Chains A and B, each alone.
Chain A
């Protein structure tokens, strides 16, 4: 059997909902595009949130060794929805989420690369344009189908929704990483059109909370946190509410983001920025905080953290350390901590 024979039908056992999956597409993304609230976070095989049980029919995994699936999951016949290509019509068993009506249903659109610029020595910004308005919530990401790589890549938007159809990504150069190799080489010159699939992601700005906001960013986690800050600045619902933005960098040369926040109304009054450097280097002066960014957050915010809405994006060790500190040391309710685990 081959996955390329034609669209397959997927039925969700719980409610009988049925949707169609085109050849090469995954059960997860086709389902989300059809408005089925399937559970997920990372979309790229790492987090394991989109596990499903296939009770009828056959699927094939895009990435059979995906770390989101354990040996026990494989023994129990679980597959990752974000990796599963149906080989036949299938029935799946899964616990559906409660859909947030604020979320835009994702869609596949053609996106053309409009411009690029370097943000730091290893983070580059890419502006893609779609013929339709760019609809997403601050903090969400899109899946880009880049030419020459087998699996699509997920990148967070750094901007906010706009009618011009602009999707701005800040991508960190990962040595040897397939996605960045393509994006940082000349393989995708300005004017190239790719397929953009989105928006996705659950670490989006909550507008029904009047709590103070804390953003914790590390590495290329800058983009979604900048998007959150921009969303706060432009939304009257947050009128006057405080936003504390913390950025964790390895060396002083990697510190970034302040210039992007400085232009927002209320910067230095209600919007504050502070960076932590974990590896100070002797030849560059660093007058700021030395150490891990979550320690800086604890030092500056202290017991107030319990009354904050916390957003974070960054490398897995940063996320895990920050999450443990927030919940164990400060008693922050996990439902107040928003992040998509790309691990």
Chain B
């Protein structure tokens, strides 16, 4: 289990029921770049929301299985690993650790 020290550095994003399987949502938190939360088959993943290729928000695109597809050029990233999965994307997305505690989805931002 998670000790309170670890949880102190985490930020609550939403309830687990707020995001259905196959859905994603963008969050803008003060002092951090926009982030995206994904529900892939019941597991939550979080990455930066801005494409590393162009200045587009990935949550304006589509979530297809484990891949988020950018709305600008249709490039994609695997949201679990952050790795680019199709051109023209090359640079991986930053990923952020997620914990689900007491029905809340929490993110750790560094």
Which residues of A approach B to under 8 Å, CB–CB? Answer: 39, 41, 46-49, 51, 68, 70, 72-73, 76, 78, 95, 319-320, 323-324, 327, 334, 341, 343
Interface size on B, residues (CB 8 A): 17
Residues of A within 8 A of B91 (CB): 323-324, 327, 334
Within the complex, the shortest CB–CB distance from A214 to chain B, in Å, comes to 17
Q: Is the CB of B87 within 8 A of A48?
A: yes
- Complex Cα spacing A323 to B71, Å: 23
**A70-B86, A341-B87 known; A49 vs B73 contact (CB < 8 Å):** yes
B residues in contact with A327, CB < 8 Å: 52, 91
- Give 18 new A-B contacts, CB below 8 A, not counting A39-B73, A323-B90: A39-B72, A41-B88, A47-B88, A48-B73, A48-B86, A49-B73, A49-B87, A49-B88, A51-B74, A70-B86, A72-B64, A72-B86, A95-B56, A319-B90, A324-B91, A334-B52, A341-B90, A343-B87
A211 to chain B, nearest CB (A): 20
Q: Is the CB of B86 within 8 A of A95?
A: no
Interface of B is mostly: loop
- Residue in chain B with minimal CB distance to A68: B87
Determine the residue in chain A with the shortest Cβ distance to B86. Answer: A70
**Alpha-carbon distance A191/B57, docked complex (angstroms):** 51
A48 to B74, CA, bound (A): 8
Pairs across A and B, CB under 8 Å, 5 listed: A49-B87, A323-B90, A323-B91, A324-B90, A324-B91
A95 touches B88 (CB 8 A): no
CB-CB under 8 A from B90, the residues of chain A are 319-320, 323-324, 341
> Once bound together, how far apart are the Cα atoms of A319 and B53, in whole Å?
14
